[in-house]
């Protein structure tokens, strides 16, 4: 008899696929942020660099948090 707190394989794969979608969205956001920052910097606006770097660090933190959750999940 299986313990009740174990998650079925199909449910686990659904959760992992959902996490993968979030990771892809965050990476696309970071790529867009990099492109916009480089474009603004080449245009002469250097005030965008610091806020963009902070948001990019926040995205990195989110991805690291999802990775830690995934390691604990298995």
How high is the pLDDT of residue 2? 54
User: Which pLDDT score is estimated for 10?
Assistant: 82
Structural domain boundaries of the chain? 9-73
> Averaged in consecutive runs of 10 residues, what is the pLDDT profile of the chain (74 residues)?
66 91 96 96 94 96 94 81
Q: Which letter, b or e, does each residue of 37-71 get, where b requires 16 or more Cβ atoms within 10 Å of its Cβ? A: beeeeeeeeeebeeebeeeeeebeeebeebeeeee
What's the CA gap between 49 and 59, in Å, rounded?
15
């Amino acid at each position: 008899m299986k313990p009740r707190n174990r998650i079925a394989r199909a449910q686990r794969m659904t959760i992992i696929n959902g996490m993968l979608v979030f990771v892809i969205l965050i990476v696309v956001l970071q790529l867009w942020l990099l492109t916009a920052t480089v474009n603004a910097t080449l245009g002469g606006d250097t005030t965008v660099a610091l806020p963009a770097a902070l948001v990019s660090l926040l995205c990195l933190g989110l991805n690291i948090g999802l990775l830690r959750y995934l390691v604990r999940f298995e």
